Amino acid sequence: MKQLVIPFLEAVDYSSSARRLWEASATLMANKLDEVPWPSFPYKPLVQFRAAHTIDSLLLVYDVSEKHVKGVYRNTNDPVYRDSCVEFFLSFDGTNYYNLEFNCLGVGLIAYGGTDKGMRRLLPNATVEKVRAISELGAVRGKGADNQWRLLLNIPFTVFDAHAVDSLAGRRCHGNFYKCGDDLPIPHFIAWNGIDSPTPNFHLPEFFGELLFL
């Protein structure tokens, strides 16, 4: 099991400007998504992420370089995992977890519950839309060249609506980070912490890594 230490950023919070958030995130250590758990889907785009917490939010930044970029879904809680998509799963108790999924346009889907998908619930659109999603798409390049995009997510603690979170400092949680694109010309499924499953499945909390918030 991998462990990720997530630092506290004092200089920014949920209300900070996009410019300040980008500047603060640039000081964070980059982590790679380099696990390709399923040999039948070998393509591995280049993906790095940065993570921190503030006094009132969780800050995530993804940098992606991939052959194809697709952003079709435009409505909150659409199946954005079919697009060029990055994801973060977070569990406070080791059993139930939030899955936060955002496409390259910054459109989000968030749900909460256990591994029984029939018992999971989508968060209300208004709650999902509290996440400040700032997307920057690079220019489309020539045939065969990779395309770059990045996404900053500033997630207020109120999004975690099944919990009364007023601070993440000192918490030891579990989670995983992903990149996928179910409907892309080259479907792919990559992760931060490795997964042992016969078919692509991110909804396996037993393979979450440990997240330590300073």
Give pLDDT, residue 140: 58
Q: Which two tokens stand for residue 198?
A: 């016969």
By residue range, what is the domain housing residue 135? 3-213
Q: How many structural domains does the chain have?
A: 1
Residues 176, 4: contact at Cβ < 8 Å? Answer: no
Cβ 202 vs Cβ 195: under 8 Å:
yes
Average pLDDT over residues 1-18: 97
Tell me whether residue 79 is exposed, middle or buried, using C-beta atoms within 10 angstroms of its C-beta: 0 to 12, 13 to 18, 19 or more: middle
Which of 125, 12, 95 shows the shortest CA–CA distance to 61? Answer: 12
pTM of the model: 0.96
pLDDT digits (tens, 9 = 90+) for 111-124: 999 998 778 999 99
Q: List, in sequence order, every beta strand (DSSP E) within the chain.
A: 3-6, 31-32, 46-53, 57-66, 85-91, 97-103, 108-113, 121-122, 132-137, 147-156, 172-180, 189-191, 209-213
CATH of the domain at 28: 2.60.40.1190
Query: What does the alpha-carbon distance between residue 104 and residue 109 come to, in Å, rounded to a whole number?
Result: 12
* First and final C-alpha spacing in the chain: 19
Judged against a pLDDT cut of 70, whether residue 144 lies above it is answered with no
3 — pLDDT class (breaks 50, 70, 90): very high
Helix, strand, or coil (residue 119) = helix
Interatomic CA distance for residues 63 and 153, integer angstroms: 12
- Please check the confidence at residue 83 and state whether its pLDDT lies above 70: yes
Sign of CA dihedral 30, 162, 172, 177: negative
Residues 150-175: what's their mean pLDDT?
98
Contact between residue 80 and residue 122 where contact means Cβ atoms under 8 Å apart = no
Q: Is the pLDDT at 139 greater than 70, yes or no? A: no
What proportion of the chain, given as a percentage, has pLDDT over 70?
A: 97
